Amino acid sequence: MEYRIEHDTMGEVKVPSDKYYGAQTERSRQNFQIGVNRENMPIEIINAFAILKKAAAVANNKLLPERMTNEKLNLISRVCDEITAGGLSENFPLVVWQTGSGTQSNMNVNEVIANRANELAGKKILHPNDDVNMSQSSNDTFPTAMHIAAVLEIENNLLPEIKNLIATFKKLELENPNIIKTGRTHLQDAAPLKFSQEISGWRNSLERGLEMILNATNFLRDLALGGTAVGTGLNAPKNFDVESAKAVSEITGTRFKTADNKFHALTSKSEFVFAHGAVKALACDMMKIANDVRWLASGPRCGIGEIIIPANEPGSSIMPGKVNPTQCEQVTMTATQIISNDTAVTIAASQGNFELNVFMPVSAYNFLQSVRLLANSIKSFNNNCAVGIKPDKNRMAENLNKSLMLVTCLNPVIGYENAAKVAKLAHSKNISLEAACCDELKFLSHDKFQEVVDPAKMV
């Protein structure tokens, strides 16, 4: 490999000649060789950095045109667009497990932008600190990148998949309006309900989860940019925070604003905890829905078997013909990972000391993994399972007719204690509720029993 010599304030460093990054990136690359397959800083963070660097240049050009000239702005903007298009991805080799402020990733982006821009210009016009990092600090850019990346990933990837699964459940509800089935509480038979009502519970869990995520995302729209080193805005011109947030909004096409209090924005990660909590809440509901589906599809002959789900793969290497609810299983495993990630995000947020939180990379890594996993999991579950759910009407009717909890509608007629006697006798003698009530206990005539015990009236 060929090298060139770069320098920083600590001296000279050999850097691969085919890369645009500089001395500080190479020092970090050598000093933090941590993680399986080098667990790199999420590309979502790199793209968010490119967005905020472009926005900062726009603001500096407006407020400090003598320093951020039109030529410099155009070069920075051009390279930032290259980064977000994925054209320079091999130039961001740093791992998550680095300094807790993310300083080295900030400098990685600064160096790449400066060196690539200088190549485009055919002259050395940009300095990574003096120009690309103008009016900024790693301490305000990394939390800004975290918020931008989180909002964009939620809006662009997670929300559409939630809406698609909601639409699938709405369709399933409309297709099955009048099927009555037995309900279940505590994994035991319970009062009946419509299959469409059961589905509506799943659908509304997703709708409420969507609402909570949208609400939580609003807090992530506050940007720390402009706080610089400790929140005072040192070395940033007046209104840089407002102008840079405005530029971020224009570049991304979604709303951002400057944080009201930069001291909070640099040291607190409460917004991240709150938003991840909303993501976790939906993951919990997805685990519940997936468990419901695999229970209801269990069997096919010796389980509940009230719904049929797509058979996607052979389920066993030894038992021929076995098919497993694999999409439900991936959902529950994904939810487990997201719930675990919440612990990391929570602990990281609790470790702000004085004017800075230095657990930001791990917080961003876990948050973005959770959003990515949940979006992909919901998409896979929807496309490979939910769209193919079908009710087994005969099995639902069979289980409904066997259910002892139809006895519940006898309460107003013969009283709770007598109704309990009917249910217990029917169960112990393995006879129908009607036989127990009318023939054995003689609480009601058969005509009266059939008038009262009507599942259609119970839903």
3-state secondary structure of 183: strand
Find the mean pLDDT for residues 292-308: 97
pLDDT tens for each residue of 350-387: 999 999 999 999 999 999 999 999 999 999 999 999 99
3-state secondary structure of 326: helix
Q: Is the pLDDT of residue 186 over 80?
A: yes
Residues, the chain, total?
A: 459
Q: Is the pLDDT of residue 38 over 80?
A: no
Q: What is the pTM of this model?
A: 0.96
- Give the confidence band of 192 by pLDDT, cuts at 50, 70, 90: very high
Tracing tokens 């009016």 back to the chain, one arrives at 135
The CA distance from 167 to 188, in Å, is: 30
The CA distance from 44 to 149, in Å, is: 5
pLDDT on residue 287: 98
3-state secondary structure of 137: coil
The mean predicted confidence, pLDDT, of the chain is 97
The CA distance from 207 to 285, in Å, is: 11
pLDDT on residue 36: 75
**Residues 76, 109: contact at Cβ < 8 Å?**
no
pLDDT on residue 22: 96
Find the mean pLDDT for residues 247-276: 98
Alpha helices in 85-224 (DSSP H): 103-121, 138-153, 159-175, 195-219
Q: Is the pLDDT of residue 37 over 90?
A: no
Q: For residue 300, is the peptide bond before it cis, meaning its omega torsion is within 30 degrees of 0?
A: yes
- Give the confidence band of 27 by pLDDT, cuts at 50, 70, 90: very high
For residue 317, the Cα-to-chain-centroid distance in whole angstroms is: 34
Q: Is the pLDDT of residue 399 over 90?
A: yes
Which helix (H) or strand (E) is 356 found in, with range?
Answer: strand 356-357
The CA distance from 357 to 143, in Å, is: 9
pLDDT on residue 283: 98
3-state secondary structure of 42: coil
Q: Is the pLDDT of residue 448 over 90?
A: yes
pLDDT tens for each residue of 92-124: 999 999 999 999 999 999 999 999 999 999 999
**Residues 58, 38: contact at Cβ < 8 Å?**
no
pLDDT tens for each residue of 52-67: 999 999 999 999 999 9
Report the DSSP pairing between strands 11-16 and 3-8.
antiparallel
DSSP-assigned letter for residue 65: T
- Positions annotated as catalytic residues are 186, 316
Q: Is the pLDDT of residue 183 over 80?
A: yes
Return phi, psi of residue 178, to 5°: -125, 15
